[in-house]
Amino acid sequence: MLENEVFSCFVFYSVLLVIKMYIIAIITGQVRLRKKAFANPEDAQRHGGVQYYREDPDVERCRRAHRNDMENIFPFLFLGAVYSLIGPSLAVARAHFLVFFLFRVLHTVAYLCVLRAPTRSLAYVVAQVPCVSMAMQVLVAVASYA
Amino acid sequence: MLENEVFSCFVFYSVLLVIKMYIIAIITGQVRLRKKAFANPEDAQRHGGVQYYREDPDVERCRRAHRNDMENIFPFLFLGAVYSLIGPSLAVARAHFLVFFLFRVLHTVAYLCVLRAPTRSLAYVVAQVPCVSMAMQVLVAVASYA
Amino acid sequence: MLENEVFSCFVFYSVLLVIKMYIIAIITGQVRLRKKAFANPEDAQRHGGVQYYREDPDVERCRRAHRNDMENIFPFLFLGAVYSLIGPSLAVARAHFLVFFLFRVLHTVAYLCVLRAPTRSLAYVVAQVPCVSMAMQVLVAVASYA
């Protein structure tokens, strides 16, 4: 499958997005340590006392960014893979992947840096466009197998 | 892989389920706007004031439906794909995919329309049956590679 | 693809991890029933009254374990699959999969059994090592297609 250059292009941007999600997880942990706000009593105990078993708005913001990624990047990992199999042109396919990649990075930056609304929402909407496009093209390609 | 008609059948129902998840995200956004309950202060600011940075039970219901989909539909995207590779008959495989698809749609309807318990829980359980069946068949097929 | 023994080895551990996630979901449901703490008013109504529509720390712990699995095991299902396609040796690949599998199981046990910190965090970090290793190797393999 890696001889399919559309698939390889998809894999490249997908792995970068997975790494981006890993980075959000690391940032969340750093914010928990800095703000002393832990999700578990046993973690709080280790870092100064059970009073640090508490919520924090900055931690919750990181968690929302991470959850939004799960809601959107995980479906992309599936859609992009099957879309690669229906034989799109490399230029068109790369445009799909690149738009999704760039606007999901913008989404994360807008979330974590609290950019003015509606920057984050617009980034979400634009990133959905290639996903819906791929979903429709894949559906048409396999509709006869329903 | 799209010459494998079991895989194509799997892709068809999977893409429909991904679109179903996208629809929950859109509904969540609509409910946020209608109930004026935003997850971020910057969103609330844009829609009338920071007092609308608050939780709402209808929004939380949408988010639970979405999360439950992530917990169940994402594993299906993996299990269904590898199950397609172990050579099941098309009729049996389609039955697996169709049961999962129909009962996950019912699960979402039961969640968002607040159908009487235990409709939603039963839909969840029935949809798990083909998943567990696929998991077991795949495990048997690859057990020698452990 | 199942003639690729690295891929089959990956599938074996992946399916076990998906089953592990299903088990967390079952445990969550059992804890909800035992502690009488339901996420939906209609569920609470069915199990004794709307006063049981409430949060519970043991239920929340199960949900955090499940969410952490989604954040980490779902990316593995993608990374492991594409890593299998770049032709690693079976011994090295199996080591990657096995380390991830064992430390994610330890992560779940540490979470649900409240093992002393930092057991759970260490299990998370060790399980990330093969993931980052696979991500880097895959990126190098497909970088020319960016």
Q: What is the mean pLDDT of each run of 10 residues along chain B (146 residues)?
A: 91 98 98 98 96 98 98 98 96 98 98 97 98 98 90
Q: Which tokens hold the place of A54? A: 């508490």
Q: For the segment C72-82, what is each residue's pLDDT rounded down to a tens digit?
A: 999 999 999 99
Whether the ω angle into residue B75 lies within 30 degrees of 0, i.e. cis, is: no
Is the per-residue pLDDT at A114 higher than 80? yes
pLDDT score of C3: 83
**Closest-CA residue to A60 (of B32, B28, B53):** B53
For the entire predicted model, the pTM comes to 0.97
Shortest distance between the Cα of B72 and any Cα of chain C, in A, equals 8
Closest residue to C145, CB basis, from A8, A25, A66? A8
Contacts of C18 in chain B (CB under 8 A): 75, 78-79, 135
How many A/B residue pairs have CB atoms within 8 Å? 67
Neighbouring chains to C with at least 3 Cβ pairs closer than 8 Å? A, B
Q: Could A40 and C71 be called an inter-chain contact, meaning their C-beta atoms sit closer than 8 Å?
A: no
Q: Could A82 and B18 be called an inter-chain contact, meaning their C-beta atoms sit closer than 8 Å?
A: no
Contacts of B11 in chain A (CB under 8 A): 82, 138, 142, 145
**Closest-CA residue to A56 (of A86, A88, A29, A19):** A29
Is the per-residue pLDDT at A50 higher than 80? yes
Q: Could B11 and A71 be called an inter-chain contact, meaning their C-beta atoms sit closer than 8 Å?
A: no
Residue of C nearest to A29 (CA): C121
Shortest distance between the Cα of B46 and any Cα of chain C, in A, equals 30
DSSP, collapsed to helix, strand or coil, labels residue C130 as helix
Closest residue to B79, CB basis, from C8, C18, C74? C18
**Closest-CA residue to B111 (of C48, A50, C42):** C42
pLDDT score of C2: 77
- ipTM score assigned to the predicted complex: 0.96
Closest residue to A74, CB basis, from B5, B14, B74? B74
Neighbouring chains to B with at least 3 Cβ pairs closer than 8 Å? A, C
> What's the whole-number average pLDDT of chain C?
97
Closest residue to A117, CB basis, from B5, B25, B43? B43
Q: Could A43 and C121 be called an inter-chain contact, meaning their C-beta atoms sit closer than 8 Å?
A: yes
**C53 has which bridge partners?**
C38
Q: For the segment A64-85, what is each residue's pLDDT rounded down to a tens digit?
A: 999 999 999 999 999 999 999 9
The answer to whether B10 and B84 have CB atoms below 8 angstroms apart is yes
The answer to whether A99 and A127 have CB atoms below 8 angstroms apart is yes
Long-range contacts of C83-86 (CB under 8 A, 24+ apart): C83/C10, C83/C134, C83/C137, C83/C138, C84/C4, C84/C6, C84/C7, C84/C10, C85/A1, C85/A2, C85/C4, C85/C7, C86/A2, C86/C137, C86/C138, C86/C141
Q: Which amino acid is at A57?
A: P
Q: For the segment C64-118, what is each residue's pLDDT rounded down to a tens digit?
A: 999 999 999 999 999 999 999 999 999 999 999 999 999 999 999 999 999 999 9
